[in-house]
Amino acid sequence: QTSFYGRFRHFLDIIDPRTLFVTESRLKEAVQLLEDYKHGTLPPGVTNKELWEAQKIKQAIIHPDTNETIFMPFRMSGYIPFGTPIVVGLLLPNQTLASTVFWQWLNQSHNACVNYANRNATKPSPTSKFIQGYLGAVISAVSIAVGLNVLVQRANKFTPATRLLIQRFVPFPAVASANICNVVLMRHTELEEGIDVLDNNGNIVGSSRIAAKHALLETALTRVVLPMPILVLPPIIMSILEKTSLLRSRPRMILPVQSLVCLAAFGLALPLAISLFPQMSEIETSRLEPEIAMATTSKTVVYNKGL
């Protein structure tokens, strides 16, 4: 996973929607198989393919810090199936104030839960912090989206067709800005308390606020890149497709076609965005707090960036 292509292939496994249907007994089998491999007690006849499949199942379902099962809709493998209907709603044309508020609220609620479920969980976080972060993220998203829509509607210089086209692109700056707020607000306790950093042997060296800043910055950048293809490509593609004789003569097909376009864009964007940085990121100990640099002989340490 030191290369982008390697991470891309890795995250294609993690976001595979088929892992959503893995049963509890199959998950236990996969975890046990990996434990047997770790302790050198593998049953005879177990192939490498079976071990990699077990690793895929575990990484897609179990949180690396808590070893607890992540709730299905908030796993990375559930992000596309559960998020695509929300994206379709965000990109619906001729939205009212109420519908804009509703879809932005639903999107940021979903994002908040995904951010929390896939956070660095080496330090406990109280529920009150989660609620504060959630409210901040939702208020920022709705405020930006509504504000931009009002500005576009009041821009008299634009023709109705141009205004409609611009309105279709409003969700991107609103969602991208709110996604940054969402990540920072949902995980700001990491900045206050730091996150665990580990040496080459997997031993905890200490708790670093500097590593937490890097983790949040990297995650925030992925949350800006992620909505680019999802919220920019579909409006462009749909504005072209809607001019075709097929959709002009069959207006009822517009929503199903837009849903397919959004699904394809989401399927492309998610693995590309989360592959920008490795989940277990590496940082030089000399760049961290002096007490951490003094606590280990390792030149670099790793930390869970979160997804």
> Is 195 or 95 the better-scoring residue by pLDDT?
195
- Rounded CA separation 155/164 (Å): 12
User: Would you say the C-alpha torsion 153, 154, 160, 166 has a positive or negative sign?
Assistant: negative
pLDDT value at residue 239: 84
Written as one letter, the residue type at 223 is R
Task: Please tell me the pTM assigned to this model.
Answer: 0.75
Is the model's pLDDT at 122 over the cut of 80?
A: no
Distance of alpha carbon 127 from alpha carbon 143, whole angstroms: 24
**To the nearest 10°, the Cα dihedral for 119, 125, 129, 134?**
30
pLDDT of residue 304: 86
pLDDT for 156:
66
CB atoms within 10 A of CB 97: 12
Average pLDDT, the chain: 85
Query: Torsions phi, psi of 15, nearest 5?
Result: -95, 5
Least confident of 76-80, 133-137, 262-266: 133-137
Residue 191: is it exposed, middle or buried by C-beta count within 10 angstroms (0-12/13-18/19+)?
middle
Question: What digits encode the pLDDT tens for the residues 38-53?
Answer: 988 888 888 999 999 9
Secondary structure (DSSP) of 5-68: HHHHHHHHHHT-GGGGG--HHHHHHHHHHHHHHHTT-PPTT--HHHHHHHHHHHHHHB-TTT-P
> Distance between CA atoms of 158 and 161, rounded to whole angstroms?
8
Tens of pLDDT, residue by residue over 214-235, are 999 998 888 888 888 887 888 8
What is the average pLDDT across 105-112?
Answer: 86
